[in-house]
Structure 1
Amino acid sequence: MPDTIQTFRHFREVPDHLWRWPNFSPAEIACRGTGKLKLHPEALDTLQALRDRLGKPLIVNSGYRSPEHNRAVGGATRSKHMEGTAFDISMANHDPEVFEAAAREVGFLGFGFYPRSNFMHVDLGPARSWGTPFPPRATPFPPETPPAREVLAESRTLKGTGAAGVATAGAGGVEVAQEVLAEAQGAVLPLVPYLDTLRWVFIALALGGIGIAVWARVDDWRKGRR
């Protein structure tokens, strides 16, 4: 026996045991003007199936409409919204082409396209469509968010090669300074032997930085980051 279609004077009157659609609430589906709700289980099952198939939230702009509210907003005289079998869904977080295909797969038959207002109407039928189709998205929504890449400035590889570069530049600078000071006279001559030691310190730092860079590359490769 099919589920009974019931109408409630206000969505707050819907018993908890009757509501089995986890991604929606009675307030989302109720009439925006009066708070009334026509609980149509088949329509809500189809809406939940669409939500499950797409794997992302559905923003319901309009669900059930009471006859008086439907007249107030200029709805069609036989609008499926008044039967509780129609939903206007925002395309703010959906690719319209993907959304339409999924909606047809789960059983929706009626489609209205409203690209200027950025929503799509779906209902249980009869099969028909109206409105101007949405233009193709320049960049379709990805099926899932890819894992975040390392920030370049924080990359261990970059840090290692940066350290090597600084140390190498330092070693080269010491050599130049040593040559200049070696030609100097007077009090600076005693400093020359110490500069030779400092040059080797910078060379050691350069080799250490290169080693860090190589290790980081290998470690990233093992962990699948590259």
Structure 2
Amino acid sequence: MSLREQGLTYLQEGKLEAAASSFLQAIEDEPDNAINYVNLGDVLIQVGEDEKALPLFKKAVEIDEDMATAYYSIGTLYYKNEKYKEAMESFEKALKKGLQTADNYFMLGMSMIHLDQPKLALPYLQRATELNPMDVDAHLQYGLCLGGLGLFEAAKTQMGKVLDLKPNEPDAYYNLGVVYYMHENNFTKAKECFEKAIEIKPDHALSAYGIKLIEKQGM
């Protein structure tokens, strides 16, 4: 068993310190093998050592510029630290290098959302839901993006999918309520959705505000 295989075994067993030791030794033995840097970086992230992990991922792409997973890991670290432009660029590189996964499409789309580029984000979030139709967050964020662009019927469909997957998701009920309120002028249905959101999450402030707006209109 190679040091890398040994490290992966330790990782699967939850023995993070032993895994890190194996990957570090693998780097010393094979300093030009990019995957060893990625593996060690992944372990460091799991133990909260993000600052130490980033240089390892950057070293991996210096050695192998086609290491798509390293670009993805770099992107997640930038995203975590709210460096959304750098995150977007990293996810784009990962995509160009062949990492066409649901997670990469989702994170690329979300980076664009944070950069106030919803039109650009839309196809990436859509693709994320296509690749992983069971991803609640992907459907929710795709729906929010659609709604923000005024595509209310499509947004309504996505919120329905969220509730199919997770029946007690208060944000989906809230956003359905917004569609009923703003697009369909169906204040009764809107109020029902807001009330359902509060039933699930009593401190859902946006839903409470929505109910107040409706009640002010005598509904």
The bucket for the TM-score relative to the shorter chain is: under 0.3
**What TM-score, normalized by structure 1, do the two folds share?**
0.25
Greater helix fraction, Structure 1 or Structure 2: 2
Larger proportion of strand: 1
Considering Cα pairs closer than 8 Å and 6+ residues apart, tell me whether 1 or 2 has the greater RCO.
1
Rg larger in 1 or in 2? 1
